[in-house]
């Protein structure tokens, strides 16, 4: 626990294998499972992939959550069992709601595999409210041009999802929340208590929260009701929202009911989840199977 008035705790990243690469995981953590409805946060890269290489995350399932992908550099192709096929570019947003079950893949764009390509971004999961955990799967995309932007005091704010910093994003989210990018060029922005729970991730450069410098890819949970100042020169991501209640997490499944997760394990083993059109083979087996 930090002594800083606005800082509740600081979380260091842990490296985890995902697909054919490695990510740095921040949430969930043993002492902090969620921030608002955000139950999972991985920083991807920065990574440079040479000719013939690429990101390949094969067909895998999700349940009871929404995945949110936001890239700072590079691009990827998303496909899922709703039939959605979408290339995501830097500054754009992919929001996939799993509800009662969805399957998807994420791969490097085929045009990028011949040369050297970069990948750098944030993927988060948002736990769905009780009344949406078992709903229909769906997919939403917001282009970089449609993401609202505001600049003040040496800070450029891009609001990817939800509401915050006086802005409203095209993708509202499943419950009150925000996900924003701050580009800091020597100034600072006050993080108002618009949402009960909030966190700041230092993505690149020199990022400070109330004067405390963060290591790159550290996450700071700020105290409810506080008004910390985020400043420096670099890039930060801010996420938060209202809690949706306790959630169980096992692999790619998130739900308020453990029995639903147990049933999902069996469904995936028996290939009873919907298929990804034209990209379901290979698929990721259930861990431990």
Element (H, E) at 245: none
Other CB atoms within 10 A of residue 242 CB: 13
Q: What is the pLDDT along the chain (289 residues), one digit of tens a residue?
A: 444 789 999 999 999 888 667 899 999 999 999 999 999 999 999 999 889 888 899 999 999 999 999 999 999 999 999 999 999 999 999 999 999 999 999 999 999 998 998 999 999 999 999 999 999 999 999 999 999 999 988 899 999 999 999 999 999 999 999 999 999 999 999 999 999 999 999 999 999 999 999 999 999 999 999 999 999 999 999 999 999 999 999 999 999 999 999 999 999 999 999 999 999 999 999 998 7
CA–CA distance from 2 to each of 6, 7, 30, 198, 204 (Å)?
A: 9, 6, 17, 15, 22
Nearest to 91 by CA among 157, 173, 184: 157
Cβ within 8 Å of residue 271, ≥6 positions away: 283
Q: What pLDDT is stored for residue 169 in this prediction?
A: 98
Q: What pLDDT is stored for residue 1 in this prediction?
A: 40
SS3 label, residue 234: strand
Q: Cis omega (within 30 of 0) on the bond before 167?
A: no
- CATH 2.60.120.10 is right for the domain spanning 7-241: yes
Other CB atoms within 10 A of residue 196 CB: 14
* Burial class of 50 by CB neighbour count within 10 A (0 to 12, 13 to 18, 19+): exposed
CA–CA distance from 50 to each of 16, 117, 207 (Å)?
A: 21, 7, 30
Q: What pLDDT is stored for residue 20 in this prediction?
A: 67
Largest CA distance in the chain: 55
Tell whether pTM > 0.85.
yes
Q: What pLDDT is stored for residue 22 in this prediction?
A: 84
């Amino acid at each position: 626990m930090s002594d800083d008035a606005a800082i509740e705790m600081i979380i260091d990243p842990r490296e985890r294998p995902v697909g054919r690469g490695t990510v740095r995981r921040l949430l969930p953590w043993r002492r902090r499972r969620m921030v608002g409805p955000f139950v999972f946060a991985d920083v991807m890269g920065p990574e440079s992939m040479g000719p013939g290489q690429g990101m390949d995350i094969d067909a895998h399932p999700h349940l009871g959550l929404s995945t949110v992908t936001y890239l700072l550099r590079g691009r990827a192709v998303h496909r899922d069992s709703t039939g959605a096929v979408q290339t995501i570019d830097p500054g754009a947003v992919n929001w996939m709601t799993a509800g009662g079950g969805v399957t998807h893949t994420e791969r490097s764009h085929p045009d990028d595999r011949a040369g050297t390509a970069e990948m750098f971004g944030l993927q988060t999961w948002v736990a769905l409210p009780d009344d949406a955990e078992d709903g229909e799967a769906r997919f939403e995309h917001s282009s970089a041009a449609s993401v609202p932007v505001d600049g003040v005091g040496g800070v450029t704010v891009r609001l990817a999802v939800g509401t915050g910093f006086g802005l409203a994003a095209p993708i509202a989210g499943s419950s009150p929340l925000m996900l924003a990018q701050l580009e800091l060029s020597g100034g600072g922005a006050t993080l108002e208590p618009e949402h009960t729970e909030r966190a700041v991730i230092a993505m690149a450069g020199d990022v400070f929260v109330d004067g405390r410098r963060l290591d790159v890819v550290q996450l700071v949970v700020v105290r409810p009701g506080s008004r910390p100042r985020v400043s420096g020169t670099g890039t930060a991501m801010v996420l938060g929202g209202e809690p949706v209640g306790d959630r169980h997490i096992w692999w790619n499944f998130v739900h308020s009911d453990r029995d639903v997760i147990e049933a999902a394990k069996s469904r995936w083993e028996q290939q009873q989840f919907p298929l990804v059109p034209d990209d379901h083979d290979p698929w990721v087996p259930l861990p431990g199977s």
